[in-house]
């Protein structure tokens, strides 16, 4: 509405040049100047500060008063400025409050009738019929806008409900996935890994009784397999996260990733509390670190974790080759959906993920989640 007022000023000025009975040019210009100042002030206000419902309703009343004054001073019921009344209920309809739209429509109709019948031109032959028909059009448009507002309100409520259901389904799916991963990790740790360690122990005893190169090679192979299995168990269900919390878990995987890739690491972790959504943050961080190690060709990596104004913020940054924004869509088309899936998880938890990158200038990814308190 703040932007729509600006072309209305030009239209009011152009309409004043058209023929209408009993115009008052001086008062019209004064009213138009005041309306112009009001329009510019409201535009500046909406760009700098949020607009609440009370201010919006008050602004609508001022608009109706201004349109009434401009219409009165440019010909009353026969003024071309009267057409601006139709804009008020149309704009009000998009506030998704039918009663507000109805009130705006009633206000414009009453304002038009009041100023029209107060003019001397209303005594001309056929003037009453003209004014009543015009008021009928205003009421008709107002009724249509009320129905539009009602339908928009209902559609918005439905969309909101569907979004909440989607979020809940995603949360349930993530929870089920974590339970399955934990169960699999526990099974591998308690059964397969323990069997490997037992086999190593038996081989070591056999090697002490009869030293043989094959036994040493077998022991070495089992040691490598056991290490790989431990890493797989950690990937499935990071026990460090469960036991020590997000900060220590991030420190562990970041140091491991930097060591494997030979990167300088800058850690800035300042969040010691437990977080209900720390599994989401940890999973996203692991995906981002893996991307840095595999694709970034970086020399330095930075991981930051902090709580800022009720928001838990995780940032992963590298000085690697980066990528142009259009490449992200290509990667999704080619099946590289790791980052996209993490973004869906973050958004399902009420957070956001954004990244900035350009070719040759590295990549920075920031994840923000509302701090829902410790558990």
With bands split at pLDDT 50, 70 and 90, how would you rate the model's confidence at 335? very low
Is 90 exceeded by the pLDDT of residue 23? no
- According to DSSP, the β-strands at 264-270 and 300-308 are parallel
Domains of the chain: 5-162 (no CATH), 243-370 (3.30.565.10)
Collapsing DSSP to helix, strand or coil, 230 comes out as helix
The two tokens of residue 12 are 């009011």
Q: Is the pLDDT of residue 34 over 90?
A: yes
Given a cut of 80, whether residue 105 has pLDDT beyond it is yes
Please tell me the predicted confidence (pLDDT) of residue 127. 84
Instruction: Kindly state the greatest CA–CA separation across the chain.
Output: 125
Residue 100: count other Cβ atoms within 10 Å of its Cβ.
19
Q: What string of H, E and C letters represents the secondary structure of 30-84?
A: HHHHHHHHHHHHHHHHHHHCCCCHHHHHHHHHHHHHHHHHHHHCCCHHHCHHHHH
Calculate mean pLDDT across residues 177-192. Answer: 83
- Contact predicate 96/152, CB 8 Å: yes
Query: What integer is the mean pLDDT of 72-85?
Result: 84
156-174: burial string, b at 16+ Cβ within 10 Å, e else: eeeeeeeeeeeeeeebeeb
At 1, is the pLDDT very low, low, confident or very high (cuts 50, 70, 90)? confident
Number of C-beta neighbours around residue 298 at 10 A: 22
Q: Which residues pair with 300 in a beta bridge?
A: 264
Q: Across residues 108-126, what is the average pLDDT?
A: 85
Residues 211-223: tens digit of each pLDDT: 778 888 888 898 8
Strand segments (E) across 145-286 = 264-270
Among 195-199, 202-206, 324-328, the least confident range? 324-328
Q: What is the pLDDT of residues 292-319, one digit of tens each?
A: 888 888 899 999 999 888 889 999 999 9
**Rounded to an integer, what distance in angstroms lies between the CA atom of residue 353 and that of residue 366?**
6
State how far the alpha carbon of 42 is from the alpha carbons of 37, 60, 81, 168, 285, in Å.
9, 11, 21, 40, 44
62/81 Cα distance (integer angstroms) = 16
CA–CA separation, 322 vs 224, rounded Å? 34
pLDDT at residue 339 in the model: 73
Quick one: pLDDT band at residue 325, thresholds 50, 70, 90? low
Q: Which of 161-170, 320-329, 364-373 has the lowest mean pLDDT?
A: 320-329
Is pLDDT at 184 greater than 90 in this prediction? no
Q: What mean pLDDT is reported for the chain?
A: 84
- On the question of pLDDT at 180 being above 60, the answer is yes
What's the mean pLDDT in 345-364?
84
Rounded to an integer, what distance in angstroms lies between the CA atom of residue 187 and that of residue 181? Answer: 10
Structure tokens at 236: 């499935």
Q: Strands across the sheet with 300-308, in order?
A: 264-270, 300-308, 311-318, 363-370, 352-357
Determine the pLDDT at residue 331.
Answer: 54
**Residue of 309, 244, 281 lying closest to 365 (CA atoms):** 281
| Dihedral angle, C-alpha 121, 125, 126, 131, nearest 10 ° | 20
Distance CA 20, CA 13 (A): 13
The model's pLDDT over 236-282, given as tens digits with 9 standing for 90+, comes to 776 667 777 888 889 888 998 898 889 999 999 987 777 777 888 88
Give me the pLDDT at residue 330, please. Answer: 56
Question: Residue 362: which pLDDT band, with cuts at 50, 70 and 90?
Answer: confident
Which pLDDT score, from 0 to 100, does residue 374 have?
55
Distance CA 102, CA 95 (A): 12
Residue-level pLDDT at 145: 92
How does DSSP assign 316-352, residue by residue? EEE-S----HHHHHHHHHTT--HHHHHHHHHHHTT-E
Residue 332 pLDDT more than 90?
A: no
How much is the average pLDDT of 67-75?
88
Average pLDDT over residues 192-212: 84
The three-state secondary structure class of 153 is helix
- Exposure of 186 in the CB half-sphere (CA atoms within 13 A): 7
Is the model's pLDDT at 284 over the cut of 50? yes
In Å, what is the CA distance from 30 to each residue of 87, 179, 197, 205? Answer: 22, 72, 92, 104
**Burial class of residue 106 (count of CB atoms within 10 Å of its CB; 0-12, 13-18, 19+):** middle
Contacts of residues 259-264 at CB distance under 8 Å and 24 or more positions apart, as own/partner, are: 260/293, 261/292, 261/293, 261/298, 261/301, 263/292, 263/293, 263/298, 263/299, 263/300, 263/301, 263/318, 264/299, 264/300, 264/301
More confident residue, 83 or 241: 83
Looking at residue 368, the DSSP 8-state letter turns out to be E
């Amino acid at each position: 509405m703040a932007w729509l007022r600006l072309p209305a000023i030009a239209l009011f000025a152009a309409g004043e040049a058209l023929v209408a009975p009993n115009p008052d040019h001086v008062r019209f210009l004064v009213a138009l100047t005041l309306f112009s100042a009001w329009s510019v002030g409201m535009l500046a206000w909406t760009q700098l500060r949020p607009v609440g419902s009370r201010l919006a309703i008050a602004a609508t009343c001022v608009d109706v008063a201004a349109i009434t004054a401009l219409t009165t001073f440019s010909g009353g019921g026969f003024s071309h400025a009267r057409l601006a009344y139709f804009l008020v209920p149309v704009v009000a309809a998009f506030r998704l409050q039918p009663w507000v739209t109805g009130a705006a429509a009633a206000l414009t109709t009453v304002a038009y009738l009041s100023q029209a019948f107060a003019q001397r031109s209303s005594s001309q032959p056929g003037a009453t019929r003209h004014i009543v028909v015009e008021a009928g059009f205003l009421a008709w448009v107002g009724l249509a806008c009320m129905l539009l507002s009602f339908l928009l309100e209902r559609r918005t409520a439905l969309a909101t409900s569907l979004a909440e259901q989607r979020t809940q389904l995603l949360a349930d799916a993530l929870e089920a996935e974590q339970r399955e991963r934990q169960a699999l990790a526990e099974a591998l740790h308690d059964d397969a890994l323990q069997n490997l360690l037992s086999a190593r122990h038996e081989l070591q005893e056999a090697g002490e009784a009869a030293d043989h190169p094959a036994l040493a090679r077998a022991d070495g192979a089992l040691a490598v397999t056991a290490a790989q299995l431990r890493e797989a168990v950690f990937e499935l269900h990071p026990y460090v996260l469960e036991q020590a919390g997000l900060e220590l878990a991030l420190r562990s995987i970041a140091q491991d990733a930097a060591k494997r890739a030979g990167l300088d690491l800058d850690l800035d972790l300042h969040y010691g509390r437990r977080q209900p959504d720390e599994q989401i943050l940890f999973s996203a961080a692991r995906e981002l670190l893996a991307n840095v190690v595999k694709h970034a060709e970086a020399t330095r990596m930075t991981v930051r974790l902090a709580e800022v104004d009720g928001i838990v913020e995780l940032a992963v940054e590298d000085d690697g080759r980066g990528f142009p924004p259009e490449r992200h869509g290509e990667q999704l088309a080619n099946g590289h959906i790791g980052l996209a899936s993490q973004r869906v998880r973050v958004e399902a938890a009420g957070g956001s993920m954004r990244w900035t990158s350009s070719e040759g200038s590295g990549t920075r990814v920031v994840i923000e989640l509302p701090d829902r308190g410790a558990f």
